[in-house]
Structure 1
Amino acid sequence: MLVESEQNQTEHTYRVGVFLDSADSYFNRRVIKDLVALADERKLKLVFFFGGSLDKGLQTGPGSFCYSLPDTEYIDALIVFPNVLSPYNPVSGTSGIIEKLPGIPVYSFFVTHPQFFSVVVDETEAIDQLISHLVKHHSFRHFSILSGPQSGESLSCTRQKQIEAALSKHSLTIAKEDSFTGTFTIEDGKETARTILFSGKKAPDVLICLNDQMAIGAMNEFIHNGLSVPDDIAVIGFDDVEENASLKCSLTTLNFPIWTMCTVIIDKIANDLFQRTPYTKEVVTFPAELIIRRSCGCSEWFEVLPKKKSSFSPISEKRQSNSSLKQSVSYKHVMQHTLEKSLESQNYSSFSTYIVNTISLLSQSGQLTNSFIDDLANEWTLALANHPLISEQTIINSLFIDAFKNLLLEKASLFSRQQTTNNGSLEFYRECNEIIARKLSVLDSLKGLGAQLPHLSISELFIVMIAPDRTDTGEIRLEYKDSEYIRVPEKNFTRVLLKKLIPSFLAHTLQPIALMPISRKGNVFGYTAVVLKDNNIAQLSLIQEMISLIISAAADNLVLSDHIEALLQKNQHLSQLSLIDDFTGLYNRRALYKTGRAMFESAQDKRESSCFIFIDMDGLKKINDTFGHNAGDTAIKILADILKHSFRENDLVVRYGGDEFVVVMINITEIVLEKTLSRIANRIVAFNEQEQYKWLLSVSWGVVFNKKTTYEKSFEAVIEESDAKLYREKHKKKNMYGFSKLS
């Protein structure tokens, strides 16, 4: 029976969701490729949800519609990337996103999350080594930095603090005018480079960019404008992405063991799902590694640090790792061993087969970079040094010449595929813009879109749009399968439950699938699902953008179908519903932390006054105990109605929970505040005087008024302070509220 049970588990295909902002960045594409390769080996089906990043202080956004799609009946486990899902508040923001998926095991990548199993990188030592190298070896003194989103929780804030701490050890700082902020895009790097170039001030010795994408943008802009890197200014990155191999000046950067990190997280998921190990909230940490290249001013061959082996110990002795994947991680050791065995047995085909397989695996996972070419050349030299006999050296030369031939063939094939993909993307982009310019209806736009899909490297795609009469239901408006069919129905659309995600015609595929929202200008129309292949990952953002533009253009051109017109109205209604307390009709706690936080931070930025009022009904327990819970519910609703009509239109009145309420007011004077509180008190008195019920209504409140010049406190701290004042006020009161008139 145990054998049969294990066999059934092995045959079962588990679905693993991946929450990621997009497939746009170099880093993300590298991670996607590695996860796909590893999950395929372990018979896990990946479903990527590309829902964008959340803005500061918000828990939802148009793109994040995709994060609400998965259902625990469909997704067995979930991988999250907190630093890109919610860059300003990775931990709390990610918790808010996945709160609707209770009971599902969650695995955090790159950020330590106290609620999840986490695989992270410790960058402290590598950053110290980087700064020490720049100061001691290159004598740099004038540093500038291009960071990402800034907040106490953000990854870029942590990195910047580590850099500043490392600089302080050398009595150096970064001047305010040399500190720039971006959002981790190439354009951010270009813009920062232009600012430095045209500021009229002396350029810094070095620009440290907190990801490679911004560093590549900055470096290209410097070179484009006649500034030499590294002779005129050095540029440093973070991530060590594959694209560094194609740069004219190779990038000094920090390397993260992404393949190994992905292996650990996929192995852990497989072991947990197949019940080999229990789920744990463990943190597995790997050290970052400093990679010295030309962009800091060193020669290509310069190596300042010995490579370190990871100190990671396996999570489980039963971790199942495919041998071919192990080879791609430790190929140098295996290469030496395979070569020696081949020479000893004179079976040279085993070495050739190993080289072909390794090149293929590294190519599939995006790891076929200049580092592998250097390692191959080094192993060739080492092998010749270890075998002085001419006969053996002849064989070694022949084997490595064949190896380099295979490498060049694979590189040429990669280039050819990339060129084909680029040409197809360009043609798709042109034709989609033509569709938009023709001002077509949604139906005709989808037909035009379907006709252009063969230009892309995709095998299957479908478009699901939210049904106008059922927000939990989708209508399949386009189906595409390469070389077989394109279906764009005109009516009687096939309907699917959104939480089921994948219609039956795609459920059979074991290939990974990407789901991307169709959204524009704050409106969500549905989602696109694409079966992932190695050569279409870079096209995903283009597909999402063009489909969203086409649907949005139909709306802007006022030739929308009835479906879209109804959906636009539904969107507003859905947005309101998610922030409304069903019981009282006031805003709910989610609205407080979304809208209330935004109001408070806006007041901070504009130096406006703000006020928090924490309100609690007195004596609710006595009303419930004496007259029943229906009477208590009535009291809560009456108080909610009084509060609703006592504040200004732009004040946020929230039912915090039970009989507690919170009100957020901005740009308020103390006189207006006093009049508002007096108005509430008078209305409660007037209600009690009517004697409609056998109980009396009363409240206590705690008030925190923030003047225009006092903003040292955080949003959460102000709520806590108003709560504390409320309970001090309640403690003063005695035997006055919630009494029965019969007692």
Structure 2
Amino acid sequence: MENRVHTSLGVLIGGVHTYFPKEIIRGISKEAEKEHINIFFFLGMQTKVFLKQVLGEHSNAFYDYQFNTIYDYSQIGGLQGLLINYGTIGTYLKENNVRIFAQRYNDLPSVFLTEKINVANCYSIISDNYQGLYSVVEHLITEHGCKRILFVKGPVGNTDSNERFQGYQDAMKAHDLTVQPQMIAQGDYSEFIDESVEELLDHNPDADAIVFANDEMAYSGCRVCRKRGLQVGKDILLTGFDNGELSRQTDPPLTTVLQDGKAMGELAVRNMMCILNGEEVPFCRYPTKLVVRESCGCMRQNNEQIQSEEDRSEETGRLRHEIIEKQQQFVEFQRKSWLLPMMVRELNECVDDERGFCLRIMDTMKVMGVSSSYLFLLDQPIVYDGESDWTCPENLRLAAHCRNGETFAYSLEERPLVTRERGIAQMTEDGGDHQYMVYLLFSSERQYGLLVCEVPIKDLSFYYVVSLQIGLALHNYELNKIEALHRQQLFQDMERIREQNRELDMKSAYDQLTGLLNLRGFTERTKKICEDGKRRKAHLLYGDLDHLKEINDTWGHAEGNFAIKACADILKSCIRGSDMIARIGGDEFSCLVFSEMDTFDTILKDRIIQACKEFNERSRKPYYVELSVGIQTFELENYEDIQLANISADQILYEAKKNRRKSIKKKNNEL
């Protein structure tokens, strides 16, 4: 296939879970395919009505506001024009003002569907809502003699809704029928307005008919009437607006107004191409048509009568096709229902690196049958509360893609940045024709980026659920990364604390001057030795530096410290490294030595005397460094044995001190 650079259009559209927006999408898709135009549908999805129906008033769709931000990503779409279905967007905006919205996007030529707009570079296509609704009410009055006709409005501030309401009011007025406030109910275009219909019927038990501003709300009306035992088409007449796909399948089939969303979508694409070619495009009010069926009380033979065998055959073929399509959709739904939990499990398994995680997302999309998909991620997640000002982010990057069944993920450093000059359309351009759905990836207040994927229109809602799961997986991955960083930081903190504790232990257990154990360290070590309960022969030495006071008083404390360190070195030279030696006081030392030799105490004492002699011969100090020692030999089994040996060694030391020099000052000839 020859590569070509396509014209790329963006479509901003909400409410895509309902019939009419889907029809618009189908029309845009059909015309774009015909003209080889690439389309990017920026999808606003709302969950509130569904959650309320399932969970009641306590449902929480608080984060639906996130969907309103997806439209801004079209500003970095690299697009040539925008098709905007404002009727499905404005209702959910914080400020429902079509002019402000149009000015936000009119850097590009824009075609607005279901909305009238008078802003530069903006063009409009809208249904003839007024005439369509007027014809419904007039039919009920003139053909069925209805006088008390109730009305369920669409969303507040919606142009379609306002025009349809005006058509209702004017038709009633033209036939001199009074409209009272209790005859009007506020709806939201969803199928889940049962409470509003119940209340409307409670206030109007004598109602002849209810006119709904769209088909979805009319389905709710049929459900409520059946619940009340009212036979639609006999006891009360109901009508809708849209001619939705289910309008023929309701019981009885629904009288409605055809507004051809598919044709309007096709026209929107044609108009945009004319605009891009520099041609003038007029405002268009697209005609509507009354479709009469049994829900308004008309009999089938008077409206949708099948008069010939050919007609019957065509109708039978259509129904057979619908049945086959529904069966296929059911099988497809079952398959995807199995795939979805597998996908969730796959994505939430721990992956060591972000590139691998993004690749896993693309592989998951591939397994689900999506041949082309793109994952765009923000450098850092954006926290958006729905109240503060929102602007399109400037740090969106292409993280991974699946093209023609081949998956690829970029490293963090290599991810291409999305800009207005090189936008989403340029980064997804591969020479082929594509129609991409663009889903926002978020979890609660945190936005992570976009999923751009080529999926069938019938699967829009399913891949919306997939996008939510991917958003949740991204959130979990972010939490795992934070947790890993916290673990690493905790490990480093614990290591630092351990090092500090080791230093504190050293300081608390060792003498800073000599580097020997202090009294605390000596005591703890000896207690640990006694913990094993083994009996062994030991020798406990108590030693004093002779005449430390004389050294301090005569030569100063620096020399006193030198003499103490010299004593420590002398004692260390006389025992093994595995034996314990400590400075337990200012001039006091203690050693614990293990030896089975019977005369070891005498040998140790002689070693110390000889070591002192050798030191003094080479020290060139004006004083002698000498130790008086007392050694007690004993059997060590528990700590109490050492305590008793302490007493004996101390007494022996006391006796030894009596034999020390009277003065440690050297004579001149001894220096």
If the length of structure 2 is used for normalisation, what is the TM-score? Answer: 0.58
Q: How many angstroms apart in 1 are the aligned matches of 2:429 and 2:154?
A: 38
Q: Offset at 1:489?
A: 7.2
Match of 2:335 in 1: 424
Query: What are the superposed Cα offsets for residues 154-201 of structure 1, whole Å, 9 maximum, x if unpaired?
Result: 43233213212211223334433342223211112x33344457x487
1:458 to 347, 350, 370: 370
Residue 188 (structure 2) pairs with residue 186 (structure 1): no
Q: How many angstroms apart in 2 are the aligned matches of 1:256 and 1:135?
A: 22
Match of 1:269 in 2: 272
Residue 162 (structure 2) pairs with residue 157 (structure 1): yes
Q: Offset at 1:529?
A: 0.8
- Match of 1:237, as an amino acid? G
1:415 to 299, 323, 326: 326
Note if contact 1:67-1:97 (Cα within 8 Å) is conserved in structure 2.
no
Note if contact 2:11-2:83 (Cα within 8 Å) is conserved in structure 1.
yes
Q: How many angstroms apart in 2 are the aligned matches of 1:117 and 1:552?
A: 40
- Match of 1:467, as an amino acid? D
Q: How many angstroms apart in 2 are the aligned matches of 1:564 and 1:66?
A: 31
Match of 1:284 in 2: 284
- Match of 1:39, as an amino acid? A
Change (3 A) 1:545 1:268: same
Match of 1:47 in 2: 40
Residue 6 (structure 2) pairs with residue 84 (structure 1): no
Match of 1:472 in 2: 394
Q: How many angstroms apart in 2 are the aligned matches of 1:553 and 1:469?
A: 12
State the secondary structure of the residue aligned to 1:525. Answer: strand
Change (3 A) 1:513 1:236: same
2:424 to 501, 505, 521: 501
Query: What are the superposed Cα offsets for residues 580-616 of structure 1, whole Å, 9 maximum, x if unpaired?
Result: xxxxxxxxxxxxxxxxxxxxxxxxxxxxxxxxxxxxx
- Match of 1:81, as an amino acid? N
Change (3 A) 1:130 1:473: same
Q: How many angstroms apart in 1 are the aligned matches of 2:284 and 2:408?
A: 47
Change (3 A) 1:163 1:508: same
Residue 513 (structure 2) pairs with residue 513 (structure 1): no
Match of 2:235 in 1: 232
- Match of 2:23, as an amino acid? R
Residue 459 (structure 2) pairs with residue 543 (structure 1): no
Match of 2:20 in 1: 27
Unaligned runs of at least 5 residues, structure 2: 49-63, 383-392, 487-671
Q: How many angstroms apart in 2 are the aligned matches of 1:267 and 1:430?
A: 41
Note if contact 2:42-2:71 (Cα within 8 Å) is conserved in structure 1.
yes
Match of 2:219 in 1: 216
Residue 55 (structure 2) pairs with residue 62 (structure 1): no
Q: Offset at 1:29?
A: 0.8
Q: How many angstroms apart in 2 are the aligned matches of 1:231 and 1:463?
A: 54
Note if contact 2:4-2:432 (Cα within 8 Å) is conserved in structure 1.
no
State the secondary structure of the residue aligned to 1:465. Answer: strand
Match of 2:299 in 1: 299
State the secondary structure of the residue aligned to 1:301. Answer: helix
Change (3 A) 1:379 1:111: farther
Match of 1:204 in 2: 207
Q: How many angstroms apart in 1 are the aligned matches of 2:272 and 2:174?
A: 41
Change (3 A) 1:504 1:26: same
2:138 to 132, 136, 143: 132
Q: How many angstroms apart in 1 are the aligned matches of 2:348 and 2:133?
A: 50
If the length of structure 1 is used for normalisation, what is the TM-score? Answer: 0.53
Q: Offset at 1:511?
A: 1.6
Q: How many angstroms apart in 2 are the aligned matches of 1:408 and 1:212?
A: 20
Q: How many angstroms apart in 2 are the aligned matches of 1:564 and 1:512?
A: 40
State the secondary structure of the residue aligned to 2:300. Answer: coil
Q: How many angstroms apart in 1 are the aligned matches of 2:102 and 2:127?
A: 23
Note if contact 1:421-1:535 (Cα within 8 Å) is conserved in structure 2.
no
Residue 6 (structure 2) pairs with residue 13 (structure 1): yes
Q: Which of the pair has more CA radius of gyration?
A: 2
The residue correspondences of 1:293-332 to structure 2 (distance < 5 A) are 293-303=293-303
State the secondary structure of the residue aligned to 2:74. Answer: coil
Q: How many angstroms apart in 2 are the aligned matches of 1:442 and 1:192?
A: 52
Change (3 A) 1:218 1:96: same
Q: How many angstroms apart in 2 are the aligned matches of 1:205 and 1:437?
A: 56
- Match of 1:380, as an amino acid? E
Q: Offset at 1:479?
A: 3.7
1:531 to 434, 449, 454: 454
Note if contact 1:456-1:536 (Cα within 8 Å) is conserved in structure 2.
no
Change (3 A) 1:209 1:289: same
Q: Offset at 1:540?
A: 4.0
- Range 200-209 or range 485-494, more displaced: 485-494
- Range 242-251 or range 406-415, more displaced: 406-415
Note if contact 2:24-2:264 (Cα within 8 Å) is conserved in structure 1.
no
1:251 to 254, 264, 270: 254
